[in-house]
């Protein structure tokens, strides 16, 4: 049974909430060290974390009218912080994502917010910090959704570079499940991914090689590997690029490709190659957006199923 509503307790909680709002800067003109409105800052955070992907979903989440959301998004687009891409499933809808400038801002907002909480929690004990975390989560979950569908509290995406326990199994499983369901690939493909990635991980400590992964909690959202030792000198092999169906449309694939091309350029690779097959249009769009060009295609069955295999190449400018 719920606790009875005690007026003195409620007033103490309201006073504490007002203090938090003031100290976190929500009463200031420039929230979180920016010149943006509070609603604009929240929009950047929620779009960046993948909580929402469309304007129609953003309104209920931020408790804004449709006209206000429209003006807000126009401002963010004009500032080159967000972009809208036509939804392939519904041409009337646009999926929202952050631009590179928007992702830079998101990182600044994350740093600002973390520093605020870190400063506060440094004044508490570990047990008190756990109590604060649990209390805030319970309060957030107990608040009503003002008539709109209640949105879950979404954990932010964490990026990891290099080996992480379980990465071979999770990347292999994501490949196997996705390509079995959508393209009929079977045991030959799963075994090939798992065995070749296991061999690759035995060389992961070499500076020529790396793997980037995106996680939400402990769930893998996407991954890409760069193998600088698999091909001839001066050429890097981009391998095992995958985005979970749950994360598609959230910009995870674009971020992974950005990290991949930044790595190969920093390492000085003149050429980067990848092999895929015809029909993966979303992935091809990302490859071409980041400088890859189709150089060869022919029927093949190296993954255990007959497909039109394709080779893409990127030459560093």
Q: Which of 170, 197, 136 is nearest to 13 (CA)?
A: 136
132 CB-near residues (< 8 Å, 6+ apart): 121, 124
Q: Is the dihedral of CA 74, 103, 17, 28 positive or negative?
A: negative
Class of domain 7-141 as given by CATH = mainly alpha
Contact 78, 102 (CB under 8 A): no
- Per residue of the chain (317 residues), give pLDDT as tens: 455 557 887 888 888 888 887 777 766 666 666 778 888 888 888 888 777 778 888 888 888 888 888 898 999 999 898 888 765 445 566 778 888 888 888 888 888 888 888 888 888 888 888 888 778 877 777 776 544 444 444 557 789 999 999 999 999 999 999 999 888 999 999 999 999 999 999 999 999 999 999 998 888 999 999 999 998 778 999 999 999 988 876 778 888 998 999 999 999 999 999 999 998 888 898 899 899 999 999 999 888 889 999 999 999 87
The per-residue pLDDT for 147 is 44
Classify domain 158-315 by CATH number: 3.40.630.30
Query: 3-class secondary structure for 283-317?
Result: HHHHHHHCCCEEEEEEEECCCCCCEEEEEEEEECC
Tokens of 299: 């029927």
Backbone angles phi, psi at 238, to 5 degrees: -85, 125
The per-residue pLDDT for 270 is 92
Burial track 131-153 (b if 16+ CB lie within 10 A, e otherwise): eeeeeeeeeeeeeeeeeeeeeee
- Domain boundaries, given as residue ranges, for the chain: 7-141, 158-315
DSSP E strand boundaries for the chain: 82-86, 94-98, 158-161, 209-216, 219-227, 235-243, 271-277, 293-300, 307-315
Ramachandran region of residue 248, left (φ > 0), alpha (ψ -120 to 50) or beta? Answer: beta
Distance CA 58, CA 71 (A): 12
The per-residue pLDDT for 1 is 43
The per-residue pLDDT for 13 is 81
The per-residue pLDDT for 89 is 47
């Amino acid at each position: 049974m719920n606790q009875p509503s005690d007026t003195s307790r409620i007033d103490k909680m309201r006073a504490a909430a007002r203090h938090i709002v003031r100290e976190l800067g929500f009463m200031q003109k420039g929230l979180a060290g920016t010149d943006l409105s509070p609603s604009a800052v929240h929009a950047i955070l929620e779009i960046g974390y993948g909580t929402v992907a469309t304007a129609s979903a953003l309104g209920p989440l931020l408790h804004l009218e449709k006209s206000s959301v429209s003006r807000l998004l126009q401002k963010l687009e004009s500032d080159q912080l967000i972009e809208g891409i036509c939804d392939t499933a519904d041409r009337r809808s646009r999926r929202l994502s952050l631009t590179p400038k928007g992702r830079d801002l998101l990182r600044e907002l994350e740093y600002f917010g973390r520093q605020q909480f870190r400063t506060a929690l440094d004044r508490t004990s570990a047990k008190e910090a756990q109590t604060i975390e649990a209390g805030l989560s319970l309060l957030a979950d107990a608040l009503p959704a003002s008539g709109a569908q209640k949105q879950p509290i979404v954990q932010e995406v964490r990026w990891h570079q290099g080996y992480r326990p379980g990465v071979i199994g999770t990347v292999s499983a994501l490949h196997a499940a996705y390509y079995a369901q959508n393209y009929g690939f079977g045991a030959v493909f799963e075994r090939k991914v798992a065995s070749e990635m296991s061999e690759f991980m035995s060389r992961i400590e070499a500076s020529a090689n790396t793997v980037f992964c995106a996680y939400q909690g402990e769930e893998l959202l996407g991954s890409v590997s760069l193998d600088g030792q698999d091909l001839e000198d001066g050429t890097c092999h981009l391998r095992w690029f995958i985005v979970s169906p749950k994360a598609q449309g959230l910009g995870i694939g674009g971020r992974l490709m950005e990290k991949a091309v930044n790595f190969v350029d920093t390492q000085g690779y003149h050429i980067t190659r990848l092999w895929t097959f015809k029909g993966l249009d979303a992935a091809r769009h990302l490859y071409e957006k980041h400088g890859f060009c189709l150089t060869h295609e022919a029927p093949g069955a190296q993954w255990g199923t007959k497909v039109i295999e394709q080779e893409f190449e990127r030459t560093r400018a």
